[in-house]
Structure 1
Amino acid sequence: MAATTRTPTLLLTLLLLTVGGASTSLDTFVYGGCSRLKFSPGSPYESTLNSLLTLLVNSASFTLYNNFTSAAVPVLYGLYQCRGDLSAAACRTCVAGAIARLAALCPPDAAGGAVQLDGCYVRYDNVSFLGVQDKTVVLKKCGASSVGYDSGASARKDTVLDYVVAGGGKAYRVGGSGGGVYAVAQCVQDLSVGQCQDCMTAAVGVLKSDCGAAAAWGDAFLGKCYARFSEGGAHSRHGGYDDNNDVEIEKTLAILIGLIAGVALLIVFLSFLRQLCQKGKGITSLIFSSKPLKLIKEVRHDGGPRIEYWLD
């Protein structure tokens, strides 16, 4: 097993793909990295890694963040984190997609790997990174300048970014202004509150210094946190809901409409049934035919004739 070095192994090989300023989905690839260290196929490390990746996906069904350290030797460390506004179901889907992306991105014998999707982050390595601050700028991108520089928009952007930084110690923070400027920031939850604040401050500082006052959007991904802003664009959808929530709302509305329609039909049917009961006593059963014109047969116990009703 070659993966025994105690020096940082990730981001030595880094592949980047920016998300740009367009609206993104949870599985949109942001960046990924693979360790140059290799392990031997069929080794205990491979078995431990497979178990760890399965554990990450299963855990994502219940919580938006978790980290694990293997008990076996060699020791393996791993974590995942989903965007703070996702449901557990969406988180699991995203983490599973991130692991599949790692499998395509990294060699099958890579000792470590990390991938950031729009909705989640997954990392594993043979060197512990848990609780370790990392403010390395992994990716920064700035959108084109807005048409016609607006000093007011620049001030609103700074205000929103400052609000996100002062997020009260939360790991996931969103902010917006009435002028259509939105921001979102998140740090990996293995950091302490102080480390998280320090990382977010650095990420927002990158956006302010590198993107300038006129940029329409900006992304700054550091090793353990990120900050993003946009003027009414892609990141505005990060402010508390996602496409999965939209689908759930539509399903709920469809169910409610169906229930209301069903109750209305039941009331009409019961009203009609009451009228039939008032016309003839001693009814024991109503038999409906499946023909377009419904034949109702009224069976009487008093020996009287069978009465048939045709409904137009």
Structure 2
Amino acid sequence: MASSTTSAPPLFLPSTMLFLLLLAYSSHANTIVCNPNSYRDDDPFGGSREQLLQELVWLTPWAASHDVYTFRPFGTPLAYGHAVCRPGLVGDDCQFCLGYVATQMEQICGHSLGGSAAQGDDCRVRYEQRVVVLLDVCNPSPISSSDL
């Protein structure tokens, strides 16, 4: 009688690779900080914050410097934010990293008026109800995101 061998189902390899990728991201030290002040469910800031985080996750990987400051109006008050990926983390990898930390931050910070999350040195994202201040390296005077 001949012996038969069975191969792994076709989904085994991709699902194993996805698991290993998620394990690699979750094995880094995550840092999440939340503003202790919060907003109500009916506050328009929630919509601004949601749009802002989505925009940062989608735009940052494709920006030349992988470093984006922006703000999002959805009524008032405005939500201001910043996202950055390390130079070697580009495209889909940057987007996955930012999406991961933004999701973790949203789950932990909830209705916080500000939050910041980082995945080791790979990527970080933050949002605030106040202007995020930028400093130009050549001109150290503060620049607000409204100057962009």
TM range, smaller chain: 0.5 to 0.7
Tell me, yes or no, if structure 1 residue 41 matches structure 2 residue 41. Answer: yes
Q: Which residue does 1:266 correspond to in 2?
A: none
Give the deviation of 1:101 after TM superposition: 1.2
- Which of the pair has more CA radius of gyration? 1
Task: Mark the runs of 5 or more structure 1 residues left unpaired by the alignment.
Answer: 1-23, 132-190, 197-312
Please report how far the alpha carbon of residue 69 of structure 1 lies from its aligned counterpart in structure 2 after TM superposition.
1.5
Q: Secondary structure at the match of 1:51?
A: helix
* Preserved contact between residue 34 and residue 114 of structure 2 (Cα < 8 Å): yes
Q: What pairs with 1:212-223 in structure 2 (closer than 5 Å)? A: none
- Determine the structure 2 residue equivalent to 1:101: 104
Asked if residue 192 in structure 1 is aligned to residue 133 in structure 2, the reply is no
Aligned to 1:92: 95
**What is aligned with 1:127?**
130
Matching residue of 1:58: 58
Report if aligned partners of 2:80, 2:129 keep a CA contact under 8 Å in 1.
yes
Would you identify which runs of 4 or more consecutive aligned residues in structure 1 move more than 2 Å?
A: 24-30
Match of 2:69 in 1: 67
Map 1:269-288 to 2 at 5 A.
none
- What is the CA deviation profile of residues 78-135 of structure 1, one whole-angstrom value per residue up to 9, with x for unaligned ones? 11000111121111000000111102321x211110011121010000111221xxxx
| Aligned AA (2:71) | T
Aligned residue pairs total 113
TM-score (norm: length of structure 1)? 0.34
CA RMSD, Structure 1 to Structure 2 (Å): 2.2
Q: 1:141-187, CA deviations, whole angstroms, 9 ceiling, x for partnerless residues?
A: xxxxxxxxxxxxxxxxxxxxxxxxxxxxxxxxxxxxxxxxxxxxxxx
Which is bigger in relative contact order (C-alpha 8 A, separation at least 6)? 2
Contact 1:26–1:120 at 8 Å: present in 2 too? Answer: no
Is the 2:105–2:116 contact (alpha carbons within 8 Å) kept by the matching residues of 1? yes
CA deviations over 1:180-202 (Å, ceiling 9, x no partner): xxxxxxxxxxx321589xxxxxx
SS of 1:193's equivalent in the other structure is coil
Instruction: Indicate the percent of aligned positions where both proteins have the same amino acid.
Output: 20
Q: TM-score normalised to the size of structure 2?
A: 0.68
Matches within 5 A, 1:223-234: none
Is 1:110 aligned to residue 54 of structure 2?
no
Alignment of 1:1-312 (within 5 A): 25-26=24-25, 28-63=28-63, 64-71=66-73, 72-106=75-109, 108-118=110-120, 119-131=122-134, 191-194=135-138
